[in-house]
Structure 1
Amino acid sequence: MILKTFGWSFAVTALGLVAAFLYGGWVAFGLVAILSVLEISLSFDNAVVNAGVLKKMSEFWQKIFLTIGILIAVFGMRLVFPVAIVSITASLNPVKAIDLALNDKERYEELVTNAHPSIAAFGGMFLLMIFLEFIFEEREHTWLGFIERPLSRLGNIDGISVCLALIALLGSALFFAGDAHQYGGHHADKTSTVLLAGVAGLITYLVVGGLSGHFESKLEEEEEHEHELEEEAARAGKKFEPVKLVGKAAFFMFLYLEVLDASFSFDGVIGAFAVSNDAIVIALGLGIGAMYVRSLTVYLVRKGTLDDYVYLEHGAHYAIGALAVLLLVTIRYEVPEIVTGLIGVALIAWSFWSSVQRNKRLAAEGGGSDVKSEVSSGV
């Protein structure tokens, strides 16, 4: 199972590290290894959330996610995206931007750093909406019940997620964007840039999330019907196979996953410049990390980990919320990438531990109800 799922990741790791050594010796080898670990730690929560969506898709679309999707993730976000940032923000043609990336690394790093406020605003708003939509939705299981229960009741208010996201954007523009961090420790007024990018991030979420949500609601209707058929099959002693997302529904879910991955990649791409300003080294390191994120997503789906550890998805969304806040904060202040990565890993590890404890309680109680165990745990 491990080799089948992570085989390509192991192969890409070996090839990437060899390429790094041939390109820049042991120094490049070490930098690529560090960037790979950084990408995995920053994007682990991405894998957990992706698994929650991917498990609803057919095997065909899961393969598309692992093939075409990985090409988009590696070559699009980890290689083309940094160059596109320079091209757009500095009004350069793509050829000139590539030339800067390969031949004038310091100038390239300067341009990317100066573009960070707009990137942080776009990615921060997109990720914040994901967290808010999750936290305001009523769920069967609650992890931090003292937070989730009252907020799920507030979720009945129409448009509350959008309102809070816009308030966060206005706050970021007022308190952070007026003195935004720039290359070399300088600061500049990026208020209009942050507002425009933040609204673009919100619109992107509403459009892509709305389309995928539309088809997901249809899936839920089908699942209710399938549940009835499953009960009938059980009574008749027959095996029942659930229907997976296909066609347009699967396509929009695939699109949603790609946009989600892109948003998670923003901090990794920008944070990579704290380790190296070499575009080749960054592409190799983040590309290896992206392969593991994809493989980990599929592993979580095939092992049914999310069904066994019910709080993992909660922990991942809390990590998303923390990342969104940190992205907005970095418009003005520098936040070490190790801090960002550790916060996400810590929240997911905590939710995993809570899930294990919950399973132990249920086993000790002889399969008692989830509600009883959650109430007794105080969550």
Structure 2
Amino acid sequence: MKTLRVFGFSLAITVAALAFGYWHGGLTALFLLGVLAVLEISLSFDNAIINAAVLKRMSSFWRTMFLTIGILIAVFGMRLLFPLLIVWVTAGLDPVRAMVLALHPPPNGAMEFPDGSPSYEKLIMAAHPQIAAFGGLFLLMLFLEFVFRDREIKWLKWVEAPFARIGRLGQVPVVVAVVVLVVVGTQLTHSVEERAAVLTAGLVGLVTFLFVDGLSRTFRPADIAGGQPGFVPASGRAGLTLFLYLEVLDASFSFDGVTGAFAITSDPIIIALGLGVVGAVFVRSLTIYLVRQETLDRYVFLEHGAHWAIGALALIMLLSIDPRLEVPEVVTASVGMLVIGAALGWSMLRNRRAARAVPAGEEPTQDSISARSS
């Protein structure tokens, strides 16, 4: 029953979205909705884990805001308005005209109209290098900030321990991210204009992460480590900052899904319904489920696995700047799921070993498991 309460809203929204999709485009639209929803959920599973790690620090008010206002931003902001804004910024086409283009594509799936003007899908694809650079750098910084920070519990110790020692030098994530951006911008672009656009978008992604992460650190209470003695859920400005952090994070995770969706359909209504109404809502329900079940506390390597999956996703996004290196969405989703699955398996094995080490008659606790496994 508890699980049904968590996912009940998502199921109701899914039924409504499928009904509207069928009314909008018949069985074809229904099939596309299912494909896009699976794509979004599989690509965003690591997003749900990271969201849960942040959400458990927030007060009940800001958790509610994440599930209400946050969903509206995810659905209408990132999955409907964002592609229209991309066309506006990159092609100088206002959102209303872009919506008209999207709803009335050229016949026979052509990329241009009979008069030679580009289709909505072609305009979005032309903006892909900037989108990939911005989202890739933001997610890369999220991964680097995690892997270069020393932590009591380590998953891949042979990698994470040396990285943590290097991270003591300070500002290592920024240095690595800038080097990666320079290499990507100079080696994967094919014109001066594209190089400038990619480098600019990447720098904006880097600055956006530093700004949001800096705000999060500034307003975060000293005892907000989560689950520690004296822990106080973030409220007020701290809760608002973490809420904004989650929204920017969700936006970055949605870049690959939004752009990848155009390989399936260019209909913005279907994209918004499949990625947003069905996919994004399910990801949020999954986040709440992880928080309520204290999954990250019981399976301590899950957060590590999610960050390594994010690192792989960031690399794939940056490589996709060159169309010759673009990785199919099914491969992208599979990499993330495999890494997170491995982290879950390692966590379960760790818990079993620690449980066997508990003396007979003693009840194993999470603290005793952590102590025996560290």
TM-score, scaled relative to structure 1: 0.89
For 1:152 and 1:222, locate their aligned partners in 2 and report how far apart those are by CA, in whole Å. 19
Residue matched to 1:41: 42
For 1:49 and 1:340, locate their aligned partners in 2 and report how far apart those are by CA, in whole Å. 18
Alignment of 1:305 with 2:295, yes or no, is: yes
Alignment of 1:50 with 2:62, yes or no, is: no
State the Cα RMSD in Å.
Answer: 1.7
Displacement after TM superposition at 1:21 (Å): 1.2
Alignment of 1:316 with 2:306, yes or no, is: yes
For 1:222 and 1:169, locate their aligned partners in 2 and report how far apart those are by CA, in whole Å. 32
Question: What code does the residue aligned with 1:365 have?
Answer: A
Which deviates more from structure 2 when the two are superposed, residues 52-61 or residues 102-111? 102-111
Alignment of 1:276 with 2:265, yes or no, is: yes
Displacement after TM superposition at 1:325 (Å): 0.3
Aligned pair count reads 351
Mark the runs of 5 or more structure 2 residues left unpaired by the alignment: 112-118, 359-363
Residue matched to 1:357: 349
Alignment of 1:264 with 2:253, yes or no, is: yes
Alignment of 1:252 with 2:241, yes or no, is: yes
Residue matched to 1:239: none
Q: Is the 8 A contact 1:219 1:245 kept in 2?
A: no
Displacement after TM superposition at 1:28 (Å): 0.8
Task: Specify which of 102, 120, 124 is matched with residue 108 of structure 1.
Answer: 120
Q: Is the 8 A contact 1:43 1:264 kept in 2?
A: yes
Displacement after TM superposition at 1:370 (Å): 3.9
For 2:135 and 2:25, locate their aligned partners in 1 and report how far apart those are by CA, in whole Å. 32
Displacement after TM superposition at 1:372 (Å): 5.3
Q: Secondary structure of the residue that 1:335 maps to in structure 2?
A: coil
Displacement after TM superposition at 1:361 (Å): 0.5
Q: Mark the CA change 1:266 to 1:119 in structure 2 (over 3 Å): closer, same or farther.
A: same
Q: Mark the CA change 1:337 to 1:221 in structure 2 (over 3 Å): closer, same or farther.
A: closer
Alignment of 1:220 with 2:195, yes or no, is: no
Provide, for residues 30-83 of structure 1, a one-character-per-residue CA deviation record: whole Å limited to 9, x for no partner.
Answer: 110010000000001000000000000011110000000000001100111111
Q: Secondary structure of the residue that 1:190 maps to in structure 2?
A: helix
Q: Secondary structure of the residue that 1:45 maps to in structure 2?
A: helix
Q: Mark the CA change 1:360 to 1:222 in structure 2 (over 3 Å): closer, same or farther.
A: closer
For 1:160 and 1:267, locate their aligned partners in 2 and report how far apart those are by CA, in whole Å. 26
Displacement after TM superposition at 1:296 (Å): 0.6
Q: Secondary structure of the residue that 1:275 maps to in structure 2?
A: coil
Question: What code does the residue aligned with 1:303 have?
Answer: Q
Residue matched to 1:165: 177
Q: Secondary structure of the residue that 2:327 maps to in structure 1?
A: coil
Displacement after TM superposition at 1:161 (Å): 0.5
Residue matched to 1:191: 195
Displacement after TM superposition at 1:222 (Å): 8.7
Displacement after TM superposition at 1:178 (Å): 2.4
Stretches of 4+ aligned residues off by more than 6 angstroms? 221-224
Which deviates more from structure 2 when the two are superposed, residues 170-179 or residues 50-59? 170-179
Displacement after TM superposition at 1:369 (Å): 5.9
Q: Is the 8 A contact 2:71 2:281 kept in 1?
A: yes
Mark the runs of 5 or more structure 1 residues left unpaired by the alignment: 180-187, 230-241, 375-379
Question: What code does the residue aligned with 2:350 have?
Answer: R
Q: Secondary structure of the residue that 1:219 maps to in structure 2?
A: coil
Question: What code does the residue aligned with 1:32 have?
Answer: L
Which deviates more from structure 2 when the two are superposed, residues 18-27 or residues 55-64? 18-27
Normalized per residue, the structure richer in helix is 1
For 1:211 and 1:267, locate their aligned partners in 2 and report how far apart those are by CA, in whole Å. 26
Residue matched to 1:296: 286
Provide, for residues 105-151 of structure 1, a one-character-per-residue CA deviation record: whole Å limited to 9, x for no partner.
Answer: 64000000000000000000000000000001111111100000010
Alignment of 1:118 with 2:134, yes or no, is: no
Displacement after TM superposition at 1:219 (Å): 3.4
For 2:38 and 2:224, locate their aligned partners in 1 and report how far apart those are by CA, in whole Å. 40
Question: What code does the residue aligned with 2:122 have?
Answer: E
Question: What code does the residue aligned with 1:339 have?
Answer: V
Residue matched to 1:234: none
Question: What code does the residue aligned with 1:304 have?
Answer: E
Q: Is the 8 A contact 2:299 2:344 kept in 1?
A: yes
Q: Mark the CA change 1:298 to 1:219 in structure 2 (over 3 Å): closer, same or farther.
A: farther
Which deviates more from structure 2 when the two are superposed, residues 332-341 or residues 260-269? 332-341
Provide, for residues 213-267 of structure 1, a one-character-per-residue CA deviation record: whole Å limited to 9, x for no partner.
Answer: 1222x3337979x72x6xxxxxxxxxxxx42110000000000000000000000
Question: What code does the residue aligned with 1:320 have?
Answer: I
Residue matched to 1:243: 232
Q: Is the 8 A contact 2:188 2:319 kept in 1?
A: yes
Q: Mark the CA change 1:139 to 1:91 in structure 2 (over 3 Å): closer, same or farther.
A: same
Q: Mark the CA change 1:223 to 1:334 in structure 2 (over 3 Å): closer, same or farther.
A: closer
Q: Mark the CA change 1:15 to 1:175 in structure 2 (over 3 Å): closer, same or farther.
A: same
TM-score, scaled relative to structure 2: 0.90
Question: What code does the residue aligned with 1:108 have?
Answer: Y
Residue matched to 1:185: none
Displacement after TM superposition at 1:297 (Å): 0.6
Residue matched to 2:144: 132
Q: Secondary structure of the residue that 1:178 maps to in structure 2?
A: coil
